[in-house]
Amino acid sequence: MKRILFVFGLILLMTNIVSAQQKEASIAVVDSAVYDFGDINEKDGPVTHTFKIKNDGENPLVITKVVASCGCTTPDWTKAPIASGQTGEIKVTFDPTNRPGAFTKPVSVYSNGKVGSYILTIKGKVVQ
């Protein structure tokens, strides 16, 4: 009898854990996680791309921080919780001043989602 109750309790516990995992928030990039600016003329100044982020989970998605790989890249993002099924934005601005040549810059996105971090990437080539 104790074994039956133990097995039943274990099954009930596992069901609750799986159910809780399915309700977490999750990030989905609407278009692509990589954006190519192509050729950028240095004298034209900074360029910006906006990534659209969708919450594919059931709970609100909170983007806690966004970190660029260097000082030439500046992120800005939706600070308010993103409801289930809704979208938010992550704007990434790259300053090409004194940075000739090809570049690839990762931007780390941290959230309360299933996967704690997500990488977005901008790339291109600075021409003079």
Q: Could you tell me the CATH number of the domain that includes residue 93?
A: 2.60.40.10
Instruction: Count up the domains in the chain and report the number.
Output: 1
Q: How many helices (H) and strands (E) does the chain have?
A: 1, 8
Is the residue at 10 inside a domain? no
- Give the global pTM: 0.78
Cα–Cα distance measured from residue 47 to residue 95, given in angstroms and rounded to the nearest whole number? 7
Give the pLDDT score at 19: 46
Nearest CA among 90, 24, 29, 22 for reference residue 54: 29
**15-48 pLDDT tens trace:** 555 444 556 777 778 789 999 999 999 999 999 9
Query: Structural domain of residue 113, as residue ranges?
Result: 23-126
